[in-house]
């Protein structure tokens, strides 16, 4: 497990870019953290690192559950926050995304842990004092 401390929004984005360079197709990034902790900000960095054009427009797909972005590898950005039931994921065919060739980033992944494949990259983000972020990455 690796731990990083980011002191600015830009540093969190840079960490996401760095992380994106290590991702392979078919990988799931499970983001866990409280509201406002930086899950979407980190995802912006991942998108930027994957070559998504206009990655600054990456935002939380809270009301649609998933957003798709084209880059060097497809990026599928899930937000499970407003999900009423894990069965709601069946309606969008989540398995095609989870077991496909793209990169899946799942915000609030702790809500659907039983649906995640056995192997995934887990990232826990915690807000520290002075708005710093502690980011723990477990492969």
| Torsion angle of the four alpha carbons 63, 52, 7, 109, in this order, in degrees rounded to the nearest 10 | 40
Q: Write out the E strands in 2-115.
A: 2-6, 28-33, 66-69, 75-79, 103-107
Instruction: Please write the tens of the pLDDT for every residue from 52-103.
Output: 988 777 887 667 788 999 999 999 999 998 887 777 788 888 999 999 999 9
Domain of 98, CATH number, reads 3.40.50.300
What residue numbers bound the domain in which 23 lies?
A: 2-138
pTM of the model: 0.92
Q: How many domains does the chain have?
A: 1
The DSSP bridge partners found for residue 78 are 66, 106
């Amino acid at each position: 497990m690796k731990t990083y401390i980011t002191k600015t929004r830009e540093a969190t984005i840079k960490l996401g870019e760095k992380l994106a360079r290590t991702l392979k197709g078919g990988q799931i990034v499970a983001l866990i953290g409280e509201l406002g902790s930086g899950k979407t900000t980190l995802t912006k960095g991942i998108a930027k690192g994957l070559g998504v054009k206009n990655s600054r427009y990456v935002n939380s797909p809270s009301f649609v559950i998933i957003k798709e972005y084209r880059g060097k590898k497809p990026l599928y950005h899930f937000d499970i926050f407003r999900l009423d039931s894990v069965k709601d994921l069946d309606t969008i065919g989540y398995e095609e995304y989870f077991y496909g060739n793209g990169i899946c980033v799942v915000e609030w992944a702790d809500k659907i842990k039983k649906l995640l494949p056995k192997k995934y990259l887990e990232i826990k983000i915690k807000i520290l004092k002075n708005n710093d972020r502690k980011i723990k990455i477990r492969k």
